[in-house]
Amino acid sequence: MKIIDHLLVNDDDTPVTFKATPNHGGIYTPQYLVMHYTAATTTLSTVSWFQSTLAKASAHLLIARDGTVTQFAPFNVITWHAGKSQWKGLVGLNQFSIGIEMVNGGRLTKSIGKWICPVDAKRVPDDEVVIAIHKNESSKAAWHDYTEKQLKAAIEISALLVKTYNLKDVVGHEDIAPIRKSDPGPAFPMASFKSKVMGRETDFDEDFVTSADVNIRAGAGTAFATVAPPVPGGTPVRVLKTNANWSFVEVLKSVNGIMDLEGWIASRFIVLEQGVNS
């Protein structure tokens, strides 16, 4: 993909779908990229909402669960995705950042044995549910998982945005408005995502812990056997390498009586150490 005149264009020079939003400000120079979830499970609902003046909200891009992309405003035009927010001395991140929304139900509730997105009341299949602790919270909750196609598209586009606009960093809405917001949430693999998008060889010199009880496997995928009983939430780990949405880790303490444990863990279950409350 490429960017021409601040619009996203496919490799065959066809533009991605553009649905102009009335909810925007003036021309600006972005410094950051902010990731969001929609808190709804369908693309159509978000597209319709961003095209309504009643919403008083918008973003630059929406990435559907099948990886399809919709653009709502050129990247040099302010959109209303951040609200009351601050980061690195900047107040009001709308005027300093590009916003990407991912179609995702966010925090889920359970009703009659089924997982439900509380915003649109749609059912979320069990295999799309992640039980994890949000980095700004202390209790486990259910979250809607992101799809591989969605994350692949997000990585490619975000890396292009960082390169084109010389963006300083990628952050979540939960970082710039931690009291109000929880997106993109613990199901989003922010650590590995940021490393790939920012073009860093490694982002793993920081201390990480597991955000929930999680299986550790012999390979990067659920098809591989577990190499030990589940690693408890809050276990310190060092990330040695990544493969797609999986991280190969060294467990930094004895777990279930096993020392020097290494293996693959889904990246969404790995967060910065300060993100898990004891």
For 47-62, b/e burial (b = at least 16 CB within 10 A) is bebbeeeeeebbbbbb
pLDDT of residue 223: 87
**DSSP codes joined into one string, 68-115:** -EEE-S-TTEEES-S-S-EETTEE-GGGGEEEEEE-B--B-EEETTEE
Section 6-20 average pLDDT: 94
- Show the tokens assigned to 191: 């650590």
Residue for token pair 């553009």: 18
User: How many CA atoms are closer than 13 Å to the CA of 38, on its beta-carbon side?
Assistant: 28
Closest CA to 187 of 142, 221, 232, 217: 142
pLDDT of residue 9: 96
- Show the tokens assigned to 137: 């919270």
Helix (H, G, I), strand (E, B) or coil at 177: coil
Report the C-alpha gap between 94 and 84 in whole angstroms: 9
Query: Would you call the peptide bond into 189 cis, given omega within 30 degrees of 0 as the criterion?
Result: no
pLDDT of residue 202: 47
State the DSSP code for 126. G
pLDDT of residue 72: 98
Please say if the pLDDT value at position 155 is more than 50.
Answer: yes
Section 197-215 average pLDDT: 74
Q: Per residue in 39-85, pLDDT tens?
A: 999 999 999 999 999 999 999 999 999 999 999 999 999 999 999 99
Supply angle C-alpha 236, 237, 243, rounded to 5.
150
Closest CA to 157 of 266, 52, 71, 76: 71
Please say if the pLDDT value at position 258 is more than 90.
Answer: no
Section 256-264 average pLDDT: 79
Report the C-alpha gap between 113 and 57 in whole angstroms: 33
Percentage with pLDDT > 90 across the chain = 65
Of the pLDDT bands very low, low, confident and very high (cuts 50, 70, 90), residue 206 is low
Closest CA to 180 of 51, 59, 81: 81
Of the pLDDT bands very low, low, confident and very high (cuts 50, 70, 90), residue 274 is low
pLDDT of residue 200: 58
- This prediction has a pTM of 0.76
Report the C-alpha gap between 201 and 275 in whole angstroms: 23
Residue type, 11: D
